Structure 1
C-alpha cells in the first residue's frame, strides 16, 4: 500500500495523526459542536467521542462503526470512503462480516412509537366492549310491542299484545267443530282475570339482560347493571315512582302478588319507562295465571 499522503482541503489523511484527530481538527475548524453532529447524523454521542479519542474498544462491531465514521466524515465535507479506509488501517477491531457492508444508522422515525402501540391496544379494547354490549342488548331499538285495544265489554280498558292465532287442529271423533268466528266471539266475551291490586312486584331474569330501574321525573337510578339468569329484583312496597328500562324485554319475567305478567316484548326488544306498579302493569297487558 502506498505511503503517499492523501489530502482533502489541506487535511492530510494517512499521516502521523490518527483518523480521530483528523476528524476532531476538521470539526473545530468548522466551529461545530460534537453534540450537534451526533443529533444530525443520529450517531450516539459516546461513539463519536470514542472515534475522536481513538478508543476503538468501546465501539460496536466494525461494520457499524465504519458506517458511523462515514456519516461523520460526510458531515464534515471529507471523503467518506477514504476516511473509512484509514480507520480500517488503524483499528484493531476484528472484521467479522464482509467489509463492503455499510451499516448506516437507523432513523428513529422507522421505529413505531410507544404511544402508537398503546393507542392500538385501547382501540382493540373499545371494539371488544362494543361487541359484548351489543350481545347483551344494550344498543337495541326503542320500538314498543304491537298492541291492540281491549275488546268491547272489557271493564279495565287494558291493552293486550296481538298474538298470531294457532293453526287449526284436526277435530276429534264425536266432537263438533266450532266455527272460528264463533270461537273468537266466545273468547272476547270471556273476561280476563284481573291484575292483583296489591302484593310484591318482582322482576326475574330468565337470561342475562341489562336492566335499569329509575325514578320518575328525576331519572335517578336505584339499580343499573346486567341481571344474570335467575337474578331477582323485588320492588320496594313503598315505591310507586319507579320505571324499568331493558334491552332484552323477552328475557324478563314480572309478577304482581304472585301473578305472572305477559312478557314486556320480544327477546331482544328494548322497552323503557315501564311503570313498576300494579296499575301501570295492568295498563300494559292482561295478566296470566302462573
Structure 2
C-alpha cells in the first residue's frame, strides 16, 4: 500500500506515516528499522540524543532501498544550539547515518532557558542552504518560539513535531501551522500508554465499526486530521498493524467524537513541557 505524502514548504514530499525510533535501544535499532522497512515504511524518524543513528544507518544501507525512496529525519540536541555547534552536529549525525544529507533536520526543543534557539534556527537555514538537509523544521516549539524565529529569519519551519494525541491536541499550534503553511508531526500519537485511550468509547466503537484495532483507529484519526505520524514499536507484528491503516477512513462524526476527548485545559499532556526542558 502506498503511503500518502504531504508537500512541505520546501517543495519536498514527506510520507504521512513513518516509523519512530524514540527509546529504541542502540543495539536493537538496526533490527527494528530493518523490520520497519520490510513492512513498507520509508520514513524513519531518529535523533542524535536517541543514540541510535548508527543502527538506523546500518539498516538503511543493508536494505538496498534506493536513497531517493527514503525519507530520513534526525534532530539537533539542546546542548548543540550555540555558535557554530549546529553545523558540527549535523556533520556528526550524517557520519553516523552514513548519509550525504537528511530529508528533514529538526531543532529538538527550544530550550528557552539556554537562550540559543534563534541562533540554532539561523544555523538550520544555513545547513539547508548547504544541501545537508532538504527541509528544516522544529520540534516542541510553542507559538512564542515560532513567532520569534520567523521574525528573525523570515523562514517558516517546514514542520513542528509536537506531542499530539486525542487527549492533547495542541490546537493553538495546529492553527499556527495552518496559517503559516507549516505542518504538524505527532509524537506520542497513541498517548504513550499513559492513559486508557483505547478504552475510550469514541475509539473502541470506531474500531468495532471498521473492524480495526483501537491503535489503528487513532493512527487513522491523525492521518484524517492531516498530521504526519510515526508510531513506535520494536515488534514486527505491531509495525505491520500500525501500517495497515489505508483501507478505511473515519467518518466526520467519528473524527468529531475523538476530537472531543481533549479536555482543553492542558491536563492531557503526558510528556515534558517545552518551557521546562532545557
Both structures adopt the same fold (TM-score exceeding 0.5): no
* TM-score, normalised by the number of residues in structure 1: 0.19
Q: Which is helix-richer, 1 or 2?
A: 2
Larger relative contact order (Cα-Cα within 8 Å, sequence gap ≥ 6): 2
* TM-score, normalised by the number of residues in structure 2: 0.20
Structure possessing the higher radius of gyration over alpha carbons: 1
